[in-house]
Chains A and B, each alone.
Chain A
Amino acid sequence: MTSSRIDTVALVGNPNCGKTALFNALTGGRQKVANYAGVTVERKEGIATLPSGRRLRILDLPGTYSLRARSPDEAITRDAVLGRLADEPAPDVIVCVADATNLGLVLRLALELKTTGLPMVFVLNMIDIAERQGIDIDFEALSRELGAPVTATVATRKRGLETLLELAASQAEGMRASPPSGWREPSATEVRAAHRQARELMRAAVQPPSRPDTLTGRLDSVLLHPVGGVAILLGLLFLMFQAVFTWAAPAQDLIEAGFGALGVGAAAVLPDGWMTGLVVDGLIAGVGSVLVFLPQILILFLFILLLEDSGYMARAAFLMDRIMGGAGLHGRAFIPLLSSFACAVPGIMSTRVIDSRKDRLTTILTAPLMTCSARIPVYTLIISALIPNRTVGGVLSLQGLVMFSLYAAGILSALLVAFLIRKVFWRGGSELFMMQLPDYKRPEPGNVLRNLAQKAWAFISRAGRIILPLMVLVWALSSWPAPPVGAQGPAIAYSAAGRLGHWLEPIFAPIGFSWEMVVALIPGMAAREVAVAALGAIYAVGGEEGALAGILSRQWTLACGLAFLAWYVFAPQCIATLAVVRRETGGWLWPAVMFGYMLGLAYAAAFLVFQASRALGLA
């Protein structure tokens, strides 16, 4: 072997086999998370060092049941194993990771992996749990039948890692010359044959558990109960929303105050002129407007990771499948749609777990209708300005009721849109829903924290790369050209955005928007809540005194405000979302469809609300 070259070891296994935990244990902190070229499937690689000092490159591939890929994630696994990726040569060794307590399906996968001709190591992870359950595995028999060395690990306790690395390294020495070419899509007959072989293997090498795990069964009888299970799921969701909106608030206030102070500091240091505007209003305010959502996203992801690692997420998909299926959505669309309540960007990124393209597209198209947290500042501003603070029927706050109905409008319209997409665009029955319900296990704090950090960083870097340049662009449009000397009214009225607002005003007149409202929509394209700041700028510089809500309550009619709220339920007011949709769908077609349908809905909803409230005399 040439010593300069580091051999690559690819980890392949079923979902939930502890593969990522093994990857983390092998590589420690030395990991690199990036994307595969052209797709946003996470690419995780790291370096493991043997006691001899030799190093191995470890690649963590998405979990799969077969090389016959069904989802974008699984396609990556297939292409990486077969060396079909442009930026990734075929691995030198495959490590087939098995959950030692659940060997049935992975043995067939191992047999399929053997047909690639690549050297393989079969590793029984979570062997401690298997031992506890009294599962007796004959390593020698298994190794003989698989034609690959077999070893055992406990990734979470870092047991057996050295042996695994030694085996992988020595396997890499062996059949260097043979290219991976043996694999082709197996037919049903071949899958059956492989299953038969896997079952014989099981019979020969594995003693069934003498003390089987009963915890999962007992938990499932509660958590999958038709009534109790649904109630528990709703309770968990309620807790999650409470956490996202109340726990995150102090941290968000801190971030906002921090960026505000940074902006003031920068303004004091920098000379007057457009540079200051660019740095303070463009860059600092731009970064701040993205980072302010980080606490909510961290809390949301923490919940999602805990639910995923414990095995509950599959149960949530099971309980929700029929409800979502009624609207033409997949059970697995539940998680992305849930994430979209914080922000549609991570929500859309997490649609990758959905195996069918149509179901995935439906989910992507409806995700932005979920009320994301960027709408909250807009909603609270308009509600506090225009909705009277009184109670309905003695108990319910009218303002709270309006807020609730805005959320409900988002959810209902998402279900309706999904239903229409299913009926109009892809007619016919719904897609397959088939998933393993993994055994429950305690989430490993180290893994949860590591994943949380990686997800947070992915959000910051992706959103930052997309939002930041746009914020600068929107700032430039709203600042140039500068008003002439001695001009009356707010400066923004003379800028490109202001002119655009005046020019667009007739189009928005039927839905009751004044030119100020139209101008605020333009910077609001960068991120929804920026519209609040823009309104503040327009009215503050317009010579009005007092809090923005007070100004709006004098300037806007109730019909105007309601139309503005209705607009915001639907409007595609977020370039970051559109950019992520383009990346996930690989073209401008679907972002254009999304923009068009949401704009149409927004206009229609605002028109109906404005005209109806005027007819009711709410003007």
Chain B
Amino acid sequence: MIRTYSSTSGRFDWTGFLFAVVLAIVIAVPLLVVFTWAFTEIWRYPAVIPQKFGLRFWNQTLSRADVWDALSISLQLSATVTALSALICLPAAYAFARMKFPGRDLFFLSFLASHAFPKFGLLVAIAAIFLQLNLIATFWGVVLIQLVGTLMLMIWIPVAAFQAVDRRMEEAARDVGAGPLRVFWSITLPQAGPTIFAAVLLTFVSTFYETEGAWLIGAPQIRTMPVLMINFINNQVVIQYGAVLSVILWVPSFIALMFARRVIGTGAFAKGFGA
């Protein structure tokens, strides 16, 4: 992946090589360690390579009821939050992209506001309010807190997607007899579709991994996968439980990012921020 030979002089590119090594250590080694631990049965000091590989801890982890409960809760939460977020944000994104109304820029920036404060401070403040509303440790409490976090992603990317749709296409559809709603459904949405799909996917994944809000508002009744993983890592003597869970959690995000790559590559983020 990294070209270590410069094409002009043919000399070894030591700077590039150094960067490659540093990046590999920082990114790849932790991953490697977690992966190794997940498939290890016995690994005692001072061996560099585990003494025994195996799937014993996978069986044990996957047979735990709390893991499946957490997975179910996590999927329900993510699906609910993503659907609500799309319901709220997509029409708003279309309005921001296509319509002119007073206070447009201010509204647009307000979606960024929740990201402009230290997140934990905000969460604690919200938790205090939720306590009075009896939302602490409830499903909908967690949904609400996670919804706030998804707003930015679900607004900014779809705004760029809608803006990228050629207006002439929409006009051509009006010209052949389609009303405004029909144009949106048959032309605008399919045209913006791939980008919006990526935004939905990213929202789902980021909600799936969201930890602080879920932990602060949801504990102890609502335990999501990441919260469970942190519990395992903090409280269990056996490292493998945490490692196995990490690897399981890693898979969906990897798939999602593969899908999202094409969107990020086309500069949808940049366009959203330039809007």
Task: Answer yes or no: are A and B bound together in one complex.
Answer: no
Q: A residues engaging B (CB < 8 A)?
A: none
Tell me the B residues contacting A by CB distance below 8 Å. Answer: none
